[in-house]
Structure 1
Amino acid sequence: MTLSASEFIQNSDGSVYHLNLLPKHLANTVITVGDPDRVNAVTRYFDKIEFKIQKREFHTQTGTYQGKRITVISTGIGTDNIDIVLNELDALVNIDFKTRSVKKDLTTLDIIRIGTSGSIQEEIPLDSFVLSESAIGFDALLHFYDCNQILDKEFSESLAKHMNWPKENPDPYVVNADKELSSKFKEEFHRGVTLTNCGFYGPQGRVLRLKLKDAQLNEKLNSFNFSGKKITNLEMETSAIYGLSKLMGHRAVSLNAMVANRVTKEFSKNPKKTVDSLIQLALKRIVA
């Protein structure tokens, strides 16, 4: 089936619409970061860089690290951006750009998120690293896809009951990391459950001037336990990365630098150093 111009959008040079990439520009190992400036922070460790491009918040560089070809791409903030990035990354390897049809033989990407996050458990200290074994989505993104087969319904239903979840909010969903890819990152990482939310302030229990609907939001998240699993940290992309990756047949893992602890009310004194340490550790594990 040929995909219509309104569904699979290509630029005048044939590149995919938002990312402005052609299939030849993408490596099979992809590192995603939120901040466009963080792309340079990763690729400064590369042996060489073969390609660079930036369109809007989507900054992409492809090169080699210790001989391994890797693409680094910034997603911007939020699961809405992840919907764009993951669909277009998949298109680059699994859609024929000339015939505009899905390929018979599909390619699996390794997708590694390197991002910042805030801990909601006191025992996970500032400047430590958390690998997300599971991700909870408080956004609605995955509900627009046929996704029941990849969700941990028992987990999400237990959480909704614990939170006394409002009917007007999107139902929480839970997706697990890829076990094989996660196994590359065994040491130096806390293992945890990451909560992805649709905002940075109210949705993560922060109060500046606006009153929260549920003033006990973070306390409830902190006390939740499902079969020995606690929610360890809050951020804004992981659930969508895990969900879309599983649906498309890709492998994904999220690595989080803890730059805040919401229980102790502390923020890292040198978050750039913490993120840089995570970048170097991730690169070493990727090629190990």
Structure 2
Amino acid sequence: MIQSSELILNPDGSIYHLNLRPENIAHDIIFVGDQDRVEKITAHFDSIEFTTQKREFKTQTGIYKGKRMTVLSTGIGPDNIDIVINELDALVNIDLETRQPKTSLTALNIIRIGTSGSLQADIPVDSIVMSKYALGVDNMLRSYQVDNITDASLEEAFVSHTNWDSRKGQPYAVQCSEMLEKMIESTDIHKGITATAGGFYGPQGRVLRLPLQDAELNSKMDNFSYNGNRITNLEMETAAIYGLSALLGHNALSMNAIIANRASGTFSSDPYAAVNKLIEYTLDKIANS
């Protein structure tokens, strides 16, 4: 039995941070970072059956074109992803009454809809990027036994190419769900490697008043390539989503609306339209699957 200090439930029996019970979620789940973006997605739904919010974690479940879906805001960063995916998994794969793992496990489909900045000049603002691989430089996943789900050769190639400082921890690389990739892909989108940082400023190469450990890291990332895949964008969630989903047996895919191009220094003239295009594209792909 899993102890109450490890699997924490609220007095109403819901999971601690997300404030959810098993019946509140669908098998197809869309992640967003910003809680205000949840309703931007569910505004497209035909109906909404459930809504709750605790802290930055807002959840709505409803129907879009006959398909039951859940939209959930994760907040920012790999630490929040650790909370969200572990608690979602507990909802479907642990009996909350007996506190025992179920013998028959459920695989959720988790698709992140996010905004990001492109590192490549030829991936312009207002385009869509699918994360074929995720490369985590945040260390969160290293708390788990990950060797069976990570791509060691990609990791080694990145460490060598960037002359990575081992004091910052070992980067980890995880591939997206091939099933979801085939379901969502089209000729309208770019694919590549999404890098996941543990912070927004220094970890992503931004300088305000503090010098960086490696001021050239972003340029090294710009020209890194592995099996024809370049690092297309840099954000704070995808690698954690891919890693934990793979460890727990869920399917995960990250879709990014490119609203900035750091190579050219440009920003979308209408980022809301770019995000809405990605929302409609992804919802229709899920509904038609």
TM-score, length of structure 2 as denominator length = 0.98
Deviates more, 1:92-101 or 1:182-191: 182-191
Partner residue, 2:96: 97
Instruction: Please give the per-residue CA displacement for 1:147-185, whole angstroms capped at 9, x wherever unaligned.
Output: 100010011011001111112101111000001111112
CA drift of 1:89 comes to: 0.4
Residue identity over aligned pairs, in percent, reads 54
CA drift of 1:266 comes to: 1.1
Aligned residues: 287
1:176-191 → structure 2 map (5 Å cutoff): 176-187=175-186, 188-191=188-191
Partner residue, 1:172: 171
Partner residue, 1:107: 106
How much is the aligned-residue C-alpha RMSD, in angstroms?
0.8
Partner residue, 1:127: 126
Residue type of the alignment partner of 1:281: Y
Deviates more, 1:93-102 or 1:210-219: 210-219
Gaps of 5+ in 2: none
Instruction: Please give the per-residue CA displacement for 1:221-268, whole angstroms capped at 9, x wherever unaligned.
Output: 011112222111101000000000000000000000101111001111
CA drift of 1:22 comes to: 0.4
Gaps of 5+ in 1: none
1:128-147 → structure 2 map (5 Å cutoff): 128-147=127-146
Residue type of the alignment partner of 1:125: P
Measured in 2, the distance between the counterparts of 1:108 and 1:170 equals 30
Measured in 2, the distance between the counterparts of 1:247 and 1:82 equals 13
SS of aligned partner of 2:134:
strand
Partner residue, 1:27: 26
Measured in 2, the distance between the counterparts of 1:174 and 1:45 equals 34
Instruction: Please give the per-residue CA displacement for 1:19-58, whole angstroms capped at 9, x wherever unaligned.
Output: 0000010100000000000000000000100000000000
Partner residue, 1:287: 287
1:160 counterpart = 2:159: yes
CA drift of 1:210 comes to: 2.1
Residue type of the alignment partner of 2:230: K
SS of aligned partner of 2:60:
strand
Measured in 1, the distance between the counterparts of 2:189 and 2:254 equals 11
Moved over 4 A (4+): none
1:242 counterpart = 2:242: yes
Measured in 1, the distance between the counterparts of 2:277 and 2:17 equals 30
